[in-house]
Structure 1
Amino acid sequence: MSSLATQGEMNGHKVKSHPAPESRVGDEGTSKRNITRKGGAKGKNGGGGGGQKGRWDPTEDGSEAQARDGIADKGDPNYDSEADEHDNNYVLVSDSTVIAPNAVAGPLHTLPEFKRRLKTIIEEYFLSEDISEVLRSVKELKSPAYHYEIVKRGINMSIDAKDHERELVSKLLSDAYPDILSSREVCKGFERLFEMIDDIQLDAPNARTLVASFLARAVADEIIPPSVLRNAAFLSLGGEIVKGARRLLSRDHVLSRLEHVWGPGDGRPVEELKVAIDQLLVEYLLSRQQDEAAACVKELDCSLFHHEIVKRAVKTALDKTDDDRTAMSSLLAYLNKNEVISDEQSKKGFDRLYEANLAGPRPRHARRPELAHQVHAAGHL
């Protein structure tokens, strides 16, 4: 009786004895033991049992699946369909888009970098007056989270400039809505201005008045709703600026007034500019010098008000002779051909003529389309 059996009997239990595994001796006398360990399904590298029957084997996706005795190929004569029917092993897959390791989430640039680039874009815009180029450049920055900076920086930079630049900024904000700027982003831009208005006013004493005009113009251009001016949080930040915008919006003929809130572009009153345009046109009909008239138009420095020149040129010529009307149509064609007056401003001027009911006798209205046809024949439209 072995010592193990004896110990079992001493404790009042019978213990079945197990013989120790026999040792094998290799060809060269090396001792090798066949030892079966608990959990011995793991192979020598800690993985699956190398495809042994009834043991776990890693699949191609790294998971473990129990190997079967059967053949997996249905075309094989030894294929076991019953074993295949009870195959409960699954590989989970996902149809979600895999994000590339180098993909960028959020703004492409940091806020300081975006501000620096935006400043350059606006400076170039003040020179070129090309809104489409500004919008394209902003899109290329791929940082929509910072688009409110267009409002803040554009207005802030124009405060140190002239009314011409302020009109450019108002037009930029209007054209950027809603693709580049949402109403929420416009409001956020104004809120940032409210927060820094005290510092701005140190260098520009009229800063609050100017920002109020920008705010009223934004409402008139329908890029922010009028209800914003009654919002308690917005009013608490803007204070007198918001109240000033509300006063501007309460005046008679508000839309017409706010359309020219910055004047014709060079700071002078609109009525004063109209007088200067009329004088220019009368002098041209006397001299018939197109180059001199073009130089005078440039000196007016009101490129965003050139539609008024077209409109008043037609109105002036209506009461003149056929020769004067021909001369006026030639002048408009000359100004357009030499890019003194843009196609957009020319079209806007004629559109205003057709939309408005000009005062005067009926024959005067009849000559209006006639002059338009003459300008078209001269290559102006």
Structure 2
Amino acid sequence: MDRKKREKEMACVLVCSLGFPAKDVRNAFSMLIESADDTALDNPVVVEDLAMFLARVVVDEVLAPRDLEELGSTMGGKVIRTAKTLLEARLSGERILRCWGGGGIESKSPGCTVSEVKEKIQVLLEEYASGGDLKEACRCVKDLGMPFFHHEDVKKSVVRIIEEKEKKERVWKLLKVCV
């Protein structure tokens, strides 16, 4: 629950892919809801996260909407109410599928594709090189949530340094601080 959006998306895709019986998924959520009060001490948004996970497994058809009723009758009223509210909203299915940046199990890609990440890095470097803020650029690199992809940051930065010699000091500074 205390992970980033990308990891939450991958967890949802994993739950959908493994094909657990609905009864087991329902029991797992019951245990999570029971421990929500304790978890809230470390993660204050646990109710919202659990509700979003519940809504997501309903949209992904791992659980049926009636399974929420069974969970709601036992415990975790606030989590269940929040999940139902999310599911009842207009165009909720599409919104819930993309809640953490992915497109669900059908997209075969939790989060961004490699080409999308490369494009985001390119845009980030262009904005920074043209006078952007160093802290903002570092935050954007972190927000990508892909530390295993920093080689692409370095590669694109070196290319930019070679192509635009007048901006090389700014780009070097970005590499020193962020990557």
Q: Does the TM-score normalized on the shorter chain lie above 0.5? A: yes
Residues 105-120 of structure 1: matches in 2 within 5 Å? none
- Tell me the residue number matched to 1:255: 93
Quick one: which amino acid aligns to residue 245 of structure 1?
A
Q: Radius of gyration: which is bigger?
A: 1
- Tell me the residue number matched to 2:77: 239
Tell whether the 8 Å contact from 1:213 to 1:245 is kept in structure 2 after alignment.
yes
1:183 and 2:25 are equivalent in the alignment: no
1:229 and 2:68 are equivalent in the alignment: yes
Residues 88-237 of structure 1: matches in 2 within 5 Å? 159-177=1-19, 181-231=20-70, 234-237=72-75
Deviation sequence 1:87-142 (CA, Å, 0-9, x none): xxxxxxxxxxxxxxxxxxxxxxxxxxxxxxxxxxxxxxxxxxxxxxxxxxxxxxxx
Cα distance change of structure 1 residues 246 and 164 upon mapping to structure 2, 3 Å threshold:
same
CA distance in 1, matches of 2:22, 2:102: 27
Quick one: which amino acid aligns to residue 247 of structure 1?
T
Tell whether the 8 Å contact from 1:191 to 1:234 is kept in structure 2 after alignment.
no
| 1:162 CA displacement | 0.9
Quick one: which amino acid aligns to residue 81 of structure 2?
K
Match of 2:75, SS state, is: helix
Deviation sequence 1:46-93 (CA, Å, 0-9, x none): xxxxxxxxxxxxxxxxxxxxxxxxxxxxxxxxxxxxxxxxxxxxxxxx
Cα distance change of structure 1 residues 278 and 204 upon mapping to structure 2, 3 Å threshold:
closer
Quick one: which amino acid aligns to residue 254 of structure 1?
S
Tell whether the 8 Å contact from 1:209 to 1:241 is kept in structure 2 after alignment.
yes
Q: Which has the higher contact order (CA 8 A, sep 6+)?
A: 2
| 1:302 CA displacement | 5.9
Cα distance change of structure 1 residues 277 and 259 upon mapping to structure 2, 3 Å threshold:
farther
CA distance in 1, matches of 2:121, 2:4: 25
Residues 4-15 of structure 1: matches in 2 within 5 Å? none
Quick one: which amino acid aligns to residue 76 of structure 2?
G
CA distance in 1, matches of 2:77, 2:119: 40
**Residue-pair matches, total:** 118
Q: Which has the higher helix share?
A: 2
| 1:223 CA displacement | 0.3
Cα distance change of structure 1 residues 183 and 264 upon mapping to structure 2, 3 Å threshold:
closer
Deviation sequence 1:14-50 (CA, Å, 0-9, x none): xxxxxxxxxxxxxxxxxxxxxxxxxxxxxxxxxxxxx
CA distance in 1, matches of 2:64, 2:144: 29
Residues 301-312 of structure 1: matches in 2 within 5 Å? none
RMSD, aligned CA: 3.1
Stretches of structure 2 that go unaligned for 5 or more consecutive residues are: 104-111, 127-140, 146-179
CA distance in 2, matches of 1:302, 1:222: 29
Match of 1:224, SS state, is: coil
CA distance in 1, matches of 2:25, 2:3: 21
CA distance in 2, matches of 1:208, 1:167: 17
